[in-house]
Amino acid sequence: MSGSFPSSQDIYLFHQGNLYHSYRLLGAHPSEEEGRSGTRFTVWAPNAREVRVAGSFNEWHAGHHCMNRIEDSGLWTLFIPDVGEGALYKYEVHGHGGEVKLKSDPYAFYSELRPNTASVVTSIDGYQWQDADWFKRKKRKTAAVYNNPLNIYEVHLGTWKIKGKELFYTYEELATDLVDYAADMGYTHIELMPVSEHPFDRSWGYQITGYYSVTSRYGTPDQFKLFVDRCHAKGLGVIMDWVPGHFCKDDHGLRLFDGTPQFEPADERLAEKHQWGTLSFDFSKPEVVSFLISNAIFWMDVYHMDGLRVDAVASMLYLGFGREDADSIRNVNGGLENLEAIAFLRKLNETVFQYFPQALMMAEDSSDWPLVTGPTDAGGLGFNYKWNMGWMNDVLKYVEMDPIYRKHHHNLLTFSFMYTFSENYVLPFSHDEVVHGKKSMLDKMPGDYWRKFAGLRALYGYQMAHPGKKLLFMGGEIGHFAEWKDLWEIDWFLLDYEKHAQMQQYVRELNRFYQDASPLWQQDHTPDGFEWVDPHAEAQSIVTFLRKGVKKTDVLLCLTNFTPATYMEYRVGVPRAGTYVEVLNSDSEKYGGSGQVNEVPVKAEKVPWHNQPYSIVIKVPPLASVMFRYAFRSAAVPTL
């Protein structure tokens, strides 16, 4: 559609909220018209009195480049000859009240490096992708998307590594350094904190001005495509944090774009997100729906994203979210739900899966809204994953206690199993848990130096054993002592110290073990993949359960001891006769543990225990996670 005059069908679909590739119509598209090369500019500004194009090609004097209004569509368009890629531009928007503002293009595909704010004429076509095999493999796995390993490394590109103050690694450099590292560490996916253009570094990308513009902080659009391409070549999927709930108020952005509330609601109570200083999108406007759904499609179509983690879903679901007078804001039925946002989320997911059936659509939702991952025709929101914020909060509250008190709060470990199969969950230890005074993952652990590392290894082992997919924020894998410093890089120098190097080795081998251990992911979202052995050992602060693969003999016995006590002979129930082999022990000396391991395979005895027909007697190490695998007919058993 690039370079063509908008058709009546395109305009109709845009105003119906159904133009899902609206980025092929709006924005700045280098093209050739009537034998002349140039760029066609098209923008939606329904209440503007006049719109002009100002840029580097007219010395920012827009008088000769007045755009043409397309009837009553609210769209303005103009073809300017001899303007090509690299040209800087903005829209000079004249409001009916006489105000004139220079606005960046909402559909800009590239932007100037902040603090400059002009849009840049850029073609989104032409890159030669090399990831056809990746998508073929994904297509074969589509039906089993829930039954495959999913272990995510969450990354902020500006602080994973840095060369100096505001001297960032480029997408091209990260395509080697970061991608090789994540692949070597055994992750299946990289999740990027938002890479859409944003004016303020310390918003981490969550307050956006350029929804279609990959940030220029780290390079060019083609360099970012190279980054994604190389992720796929190394077997890594790419998920991007996406922010449809709100946008920042910077004057060159979407706020009062045509001089009136255009992208935001006119009602201040619905528009303002006071706790973030941002504005909500107006989901009642079909054109805003076209803008946002097209943006989700854009990242998958143009940049080959494998999925989106949708930020702050709870803020979209409820009217007046975060407001003291929230109860005063009601929908047409008298309720507090944001009906238009709910309809948008359902339509978003239906549309994404229509075009990309294998996509990952993950809701970061802190509410107790039901059926977030339920199908839309059954009343669900239609996501295929939801972050388990309840599990994260409970387990972190638990492990931050001194072990002597944990027995009194055993329910914080066991409660999650009451609802773990109600949604398709991801278990997140994300950036939000290691910033703003919350301490790093390692520093959350009580006790001395040894106990901190042991406790963290136990926690990571427990996360792997618990039903649900996995996510860890960068730095957590090396036992970062300081919480995330959002202006500087991970403290990589810590790897010169033995305990941190051992922690990294443990996480690397734990990740690889996870990928090989089908009981940990094959039936992740069904009760058939889980069975309690002993949820009642609160006095010992121990939890024990089975994780099950599809084959009846494909069973892992998982036990985590959350105290520094060691049990030399601890009886545990098991489901069948035979031999059990220890395949994971976070207390191994190679990881910095005390070496209380079960080196010899353990034979089950005909002693009923824990409601199981057989039992084994094992050594339980201090502050540790252990797993035993049923050895069937002397089959090779992957061990860690």
pLDDT grade, residue 415 (50/70/90)?
very high
DSSP annotation of 94:
E
Q: What is the mean pLDDT of residues 61-89?
A: 95
Residue 179 belongs to a domain with what CATH number? Answer: 3.20.20.80
Q: Exposed/middle/buried for 512, CB within 10 Å: 0-12, 13-18, 19+? A: middle
- Model pLDDT, residue 97: 87
pLDDT tens sequence across 332-342:
999 999 999 99
pLDDT grade, residue 640 (50/70/90)?
low
Q: Considering the chain, what is the average pLDDT of its residues?
A: 95
pLDDT tens sequence across 578-594:
999 999 999 999 999 99
Is residue 608 reached through a cis peptide bond, with omega within 30 degrees of 0 on the bond before it? no
**Rounded to whole angstroms, how far apart are CA atoms 404 and 22?**
59
Task: Look at residue 141 and tell me if it is in a domain.
Answer: no
Window from 192-206, 215-229, 323-337 with minimum mean pLDDT: 323-337
- Model pLDDT, residue 260: 96
The three-state DSSP-derived secondary structure of 382-402 is CCCEEECHHHHHHHHHHHCCC
- Model pLDDT, residue 637: 47
Task: Look at residue 207 and tell me if it is in a domain.
Answer: yes
Return the residue matching tokens 């069948």: 576
| Whether residue 263 sits in one domain with residue 193 | yes
Q: Which domain holds residue 605?
A: 393-424+444-468+491-504+530-640
- Model pLDDT, residue 166: 86
| Whether residue 106 sits in one domain with residue 187 | no
| Whether residue 401 sits in one domain with residue 327 | no
Task: Look at residue 376 and tell me if it is in a domain.
Answer: no
Q: What is the mean pLDDT of residues 132-161?
A: 89
- Percent of the chain at pLDDT > 90 equals 93
pTM for the whole structure:
0.96
- Model pLDDT, residue 143: 56
Of 45, 124, 32, residue with least CA distance to 77: 45
- Ramachandran sector of residue 472 (left: φ over 0; alpha: ψ -120 to 50; beta: rest): beta
Alpha carbon 179 to its chain centroid, in Å, reads: 17
Task: Look at residue 284 and tell me if it is in a domain.
Answer: yes
Q: What is the mean pLDDT of residues 125-152?
A: 88
- For residue 74, what are the CA distances in angstroms to 275, 283, 287, 290? 32, 18, 10, 14
By annotation, the residues acting in catalysis are 311, 364
Buried b (16+ CB within 10 A) or exposed e, 369-399: bebbbbebeeebbbbbbbbbbebbebbbebb
Looking only at the bridges linking them, the beta strands covering 237-242 and 189-192 are parallel
pLDDT at 636 over 60: no
pLDDT at 480 over 80: yes
pLDDT at 4 over 70: no
- Model pLDDT, residue 632: 61
Give every CB contact of residue 228 below 8 A, 6+ residues apart in sequence: 131, 238, 303, 304, 305
| Whether residue 451 sits in one domain with residue 500 | yes
Window from 167-171, 318-322, 359-363, 380-384 with minimum mean pLDDT: 318-322
pLDDT grade, residue 447 (50/70/90)?
very high
- Model pLDDT, residue 138: 86
| Whether residue 414 sits in one domain with residue 322 | no
- Model pLDDT, residue 639: 60
- Model pLDDT, residue 449: 96
Q: Is 226 helix (H, G, I), strand (E, B) or coil?
A: helix
Q: Exposed/middle/buried for 36, CB within 10 Å: 0-12, 13-18, 19+? A: exposed
| Whether residue 264 sits in one domain with residue 339 | yes
Domain count, the chain: 3
- For residue 76, what are the CA distances in angstroms to 16, 421, 531? 18, 50, 61
pLDDT tens sequence across 265-306:
999 999 999 999 999 999 999 999 999 999 999 999 999 999
**Letter for the amino acid at 184?**
D
Q: Exposed/middle/buried for 368, CB within 10 Å: 0-12, 13-18, 19+? A: exposed
Q: What is the mean pLDDT of residues 417-441?
A: 97
| Whether residue 317 sits in one domain with residue 195 | yes
The number of helix segments (H) and strand segments (E) in the chain equals: 15, 31
Task: Tell me which H or E stretch contains 344.
Answer: helix 339-355
| Whether residue 115 sits in one domain with residue 23 | yes
pLDDT tens sequence across 226-268:
999 999 999 999 999 999 999 999 999 999 999 999 999 999 9
Task: Look at residue 51 and tell me if it is in a domain.
Answer: yes
Tell me the CA end-to-end span of the chain in Å, nearest whole number.
Answer: 53
DSSP annotation of 209:
S
**Rounded to whole angstroms, how far apart are CA atoms 586 and 640?**
9
- For residue 363, what are the CA distances in angstroms to 218, 294, 316, 550, 617? 27, 18, 11, 28, 42
| Whether residue 231 sits in one domain with residue 356 | yes
**Letter for the amino acid at 582?**
E
- Model pLDDT, residue 634: 44
Of 305, 134, 109, residue with least CA distance to 211: 109
- For residue 549, what are the CA distances in angstroms to 167, 326, 392, 515? 47, 46, 25, 13
| Whether residue 315 sits in one domain with residue 412 | no
**Rounded to whole angstroms, how far apart are CA atoms 389 and 429?**
9
- Model pLDDT, residue 279: 97
pLDDT grade, residue 324 (50/70/90)?
confident
- Model pLDDT, residue 2: 42
| Whether residue 195 sits in one domain with residue 113 | no
Residue where one domain finishes, among candidates 308, 338, 361: 361
**Rounded to whole angstroms, how far apart are CA atoms 73 and 16?**
12
CB 206 within 8 A of CB 486: no
Return the residue matching tokens 């199981």: 612
Q: What is the mean pLDDT of residues 95-120?
A: 96
- Ramachandran sector of residue 119 (left: φ over 0; alpha: ψ -120 to 50; beta: rest): beta
- Model pLDDT, residue 3: 41
| Whether residue 409 sits in one domain with residue 356 | no
- Model pLDDT, residue 328: 81
Task: Look at residue 535 and tell me if it is in a domain.
Answer: yes
CB 363 within 8 A of CB 381: yes
The three-state DSSP-derived secondary structure of 161-183 is CEEECCEECCHHHHHHHHHHHHH
CB 482 within 8 A of CB 438: no
CB 16 within 8 A of CB 9: no
Residue 607 belongs to a domain with what CATH number? Answer: 2.60.40.1180
Report CA Rg, the chain.
27
Q: What is the mean pLDDT of residues 58-79?
A: 95
Residue 93 belongs to a domain with what CATH number? Answer: 2.60.40.10
Half-sphere exposure of 406 (CA within 13 A, CB side): 30
pLDDT at 142 over 90: no
CB 467 within 8 A of CB 416: no
Residue where one domain finishes, among candidates 103, 120, 137: 120
Q: Is the dihedral of CA 382, 246, 99, 89 positive or negative?
A: negative
Task: Look at residue 550 and tell me if it is in a domain.
Answer: yes
Bridge partner residues of 154 (DSSP) = 191, 473
- What's the token pair of residue 115? 């603090």
Provide the residue count of the chain.
640
Task: Look at residue 97 and tell me if it is in a domain.
Answer: yes
